[in-house]
Structure 1
Amino acid sequence: MNKSNIISPSKIRLLFKFIKYNLKIVFGNKFVYFLGASLIFYLLISSISLFAADSVSVHGVYYQLMFPAFLLVFFPTTYGIQNDEDARILEILFGIPNYRYKIWLVRLVMAFFMVFWFIFLMAILSNLLLISIPVWEMTLRLMVPVMLFGMLGFFFSTVVKNGNGTAVVVVIIGLIIWFISAFIENSSWNVFLNPFNLPSGMTETVWVNVVQKHIRTWLVVALVAGLWGLLNLQNREKFIK
């Protein structure tokens, strides 16, 4: 078979249209408010840190970037099903064979891809304005909790099937995890573990093992939550009113 027939200009145009349309669905409507809130929060915290008497630390920048990152991933994952329903395309999408793999898997990849570059840009700004940081490593480390909460948001959106209801559930879970993290601060089970904050009294080798276990654990949880959410989309009758 001729390769030119496989990757034809018409197929490329169709692919770009597909991506453009799904970007509008995933990042449309209220996403601009979450983007604006994350940028305002980041600029506010950065300004305070810039003029504060205390010196800025790398592990401090990690936490400064975490909340804006959560805001960025919050809307496209928790309100995804609601957006499809509001756009009146939910029933059409469920008519596509293997809907869960062809549409929402692509949307999740696009959402995390866009959020990754937003975090990367904010990390560059922090590197220029505040303190020298490992930009790539900082971005990749932040993607662990971001992917976890993003996948949890997607999973609960397939259970609750309402954007606002899902948002409430995810926020409550986040607050509970934040409360618990105070008691397991340096444990690999702490979702908000700061990999750039080496605890006193712990060797660097032990700390590296803790961080690696933390990454593996929560990426597996994120993967399970994502797959579970995709499986929930098989129950067409529960989504079509």
Structure 2
Amino acid sequence: MCVLACTVVNNACQTIYFAREGVVDVTARSEADEPFGFDLHRVRFEQVNIRQNPLRAEPVAGGDGWCADSFSYQTTLLAPPAEVGDTVRDFQLQNCATEEFDSIHELAAEVDALWMIATAGWCPACRQYLPQVIESTANIPDSVLKTIFVLGENASYGQPTAAYCRQYAAQYGEDGSRFYIDHNGEGSFATTFRYIWPYVGDNGEFGLPWNAAIGGGTFRYEYGDGYQGNRGGIADAINRLLQ
């Protein structure tokens, strides 16, 4: 087992230390999203530089060193979000009409496809796009295609409330039952993007409105806007899932 430590400046490792000797007791081994912990006993660290090709830790001449006689740590190891082609793990979003939290797996379990559209109250392109989606899905039974709109921010770029979300839905003639809130108080789409990776384009960016298609029953991430492996756009992806 390799044990590294570092000093952090501006959310980046500045000085890296490598444990040369000591004891590591793993107190909790975990799968994704479960606790993981360890205890360090009499561990001696020395400052190193990390080199590539081959990967190695080289001691820094005259570098710093320090000891951890006794140190305990516990965290939760988060599984990475699903990329296109992966199975999406279950998560919950707050419904704007009921204000209850609904399971994505339950929404997608009995349908052929789940279509997710990320939107925001300030987004002008969304104001043009959402009516098109609503019109194009009007004659498709909800038992075949589940379409949901995920609202990440209000018109002021802030956290939307359920009341605001219902008002937002009403602008499109909707009662809010297909609209969901995703904002954790610090950032928009925090839950969705923890489970579904949106930055699938070559430029590593995403824009609003953003579309994703998930296979019904399989929960497979079939389509994300910008992915170079897509055959056609979101409409083609949905049509393939409905065949």
TM-score band, normalised by shorter chain: under 0.3
More strand by share: 2
More helix by share: 1
Under a length normalisation based on structure 2, what TM-score does the superposition of the two structures give?
Answer: 0.21
